[in-house]
Structure 1
């Protein structure tokens, strides 16, 4: 009972922190201008945007199925789509943004009888997408700088962030070198050997790697397509260059959602939008409006996962 109360308190605290962060972002911009930008998004673009989210889940589920099959596990595509919807919904409502993926790895491992391989399958499938997203962000930022779109301000803050990450990585490496016993190091070495094998089998070897990159590019295109639909509905896409800028900035927002501090990236994504939109000469309210619209649309599109939960409980009853 105490553990349940503790988990409930932590979830409530994460919800509160997320709400405070979103409130802080809204407070930092012009509220009336933000509502005007939100009102500009036409409801007629919601249908193609929702269609893209369906394609997105189907492609992601296929990528997951392809990954675990390289590890010797079976996973029907229909089951993969169902589990992916369930994981997406849980990622939307539970802290960290990964508990849904942990759940689908556990459920698949229970069905397949290979928990470690199932866990690696989910982790590698997500890694495939994150690597392509990181590459897209590098290309996007490079293009924005080369095209003269990005102002040079905030580079100093970025250097502080990079320095902080490097310091944490060095601290973790030093702790592993000095604080672990020989037995634990041996167990870690054995696990890393298994992980390296699974990485090679399901991601790095030929011809798996191009398939992973291609499928991840399609998934990323579906994410960015949702941003483009919302921007089109708001009248922001008046030129090809404007569309390219929205794609570049949208990839940065997607990467910011990887930070597991809030629920489904809320607050962090909007904060990133409020920072990067003015850096290309666009109003912060435009970026925050697109970010809020994107978050709301993804939340609604994940509701089939809640339906699977209800149906599963009814079957148990």
Structure 2
């Protein structure tokens, strides 16, 4: 019953936020922008999202292999599609990833398969944060381009600094904890290093992660262009990550409502209207949902991934 209430609440929050945005961001105008959206830009966004998904699957395959979990490229892509469609259709945004770890546990156990999924997602978020930080610093250091408001710049720099300090402190202090907790933390850090930072994989991890982040930002920029908002690359590198970060807050279904609210607030900094921001975000959400639909076919054809024996 508690789970049902939680799911219902997430749907209710998403719907409530969208209804509120309809009132304050001129929902009818947003619909007009969507109806008249340029198909070529939407198709470009679909290609970018699909490319991002494939690169993410390859990153998972690489990460898992470092932990002793062997997947073929076809398995990795197929499982990623399946996890994405679950993440898009169900509240929480992580149930598909949990299922991916469970289905891949046969070779190395649930802990290792879970770490492979966690590390892959973590690397993607870290890459997004680093690219965002570099873009914000670049726009701050080079005058004449896009600049965030001073108050928002301060909040961004403080948040990034705090995240770096917390992560560094945890990595240093965690293995020193007494007993099994310290041992488990040390093993976690060792596996993370081996999966992501080992010499034989670090360059591929960097390239795959940069590729996924750039394609994700490009997909959103294409959706904005489809409704008439042309974002310069530097502007997209700053604003789109801020919008995507809101999707990590697990109070709605796949970030719906939160993402639209953030876009309606942030895109006006680039000269758009709130209605255009609302429309761009809805277009992006629909493109992401459509890109995940092959996962429905995967689910229909096969519900269990057979492990590849090393």
TM-score clears 0.5 = yes
Partner of 2:77: 81
Distance in 2, Cα, partners of 1:81 & 1:31:
37
Distance in 1, Cα, partners of 2:23 & 2:180:
50
Distance in 2, Cα, partners of 1:18 & 1:157:
29
- In terms of mean alpha carbon deviation, does 141-150 or 47-56 score higher? 141-150
Distance in 1, Cα, partners of 2:253 & 2:295:
16
Partner of 2:134: 139
Distance in 2, Cα, partners of 1:309 & 1:11:
22
Equivalent pair of 1:134/1:255 in contact (CA under 8 Å): no
Residue 231 (1) aligns with residue 221 (2): no
Of 251, 263, 276, 1:261 maps to 251
Equivalent pair of 1:87/1:100 in contact (CA under 8 Å): yes
User: Counterparts of 1:144-163 in structure 2 under 5 Å?
Assistant: 144-145=139-140, 146-147=143-144, 149-150=146-147, 152=149, 154-155=151-152, 158=155
Distance in 2, Cα, partners of 1:211 & 1:243:
24
Residue 194 (1) aligns with residue 184 (2): no
Any unmatched runs of 5+ in structure 1? 178-183
CA shift at 1:52, angstroms?
2.4
Residue 270 (1) aligns with residue 260 (2): yes
Secondary structure, aligned partner of 2:252 = coil
Distance in 2, Cα, partners of 1:151 & 1:48:
27
Residue 98 (1) aligns with residue 94 (2): yes
Distance in 2, Cα, partners of 1:66 & 1:95:
28
Partner of 2:25: 29
Equivalent pair of 2:38/2:226 in contact (CA under 8 Å): yes
More helix by share: 1
TM-score, normalised to structure 2, is: 0.83
TM-score, normalised to structure 1, is: 0.82
Secondary structure, aligned partner of 1:112 = coil
Residue by residue, what CA displacement relative to the aligned partner does 1:80-100 show, whole Å, maximum 9, x if unpaired? 111101110111122221111
Change (3 A) 1:234 1:271: closer
Equivalent pair of 1:41/1:231 in contact (CA under 8 Å): no
Partner of 1:180: none
Equivalent pair of 1:22/1:267 in contact (CA under 8 Å): yes
CA shift at 1:270, angstroms?
1.0
CA shift at 1:310, angstroms?
2.6
Secondary structure, aligned partner of 1:282 = coil
CA shift at 1:307, angstroms?
2.2
Residue 212 (1) aligns with residue 209 (2): no
Partner of 1:181: none
CA shift at 1:20, angstroms?
0.8
Partner of 2:48: 52
Partner of 2:111: 116
CA shift at 1:17, angstroms?
1.2
CA shift at 1:36, angstroms?
3.1
Partner of 1:72: 68
CA shift at 1:298, angstroms?
0.5
Equivalent pair of 2:227/2:279 in contact (CA under 8 Å): no
Any unmatched runs of 5+ in structure 2? 305-310
Secondary structure, aligned partner of 1:257 = helix
- Give the number of equivalent residue pairs: 295
Equivalent pair of 1:90/1:99 in contact (CA under 8 Å): yes
CA shift at 1:53, angstroms?
2.6
Residue by residue, what CA displacement relative to the aligned partner does 1:135-178 show, whole Å, maximum 9, x if unpaired? 1221233344454533536549948x95xx89xx8xxx9xx99x
Distance in 2, Cα, partners of 1:141 & 1:284:
22
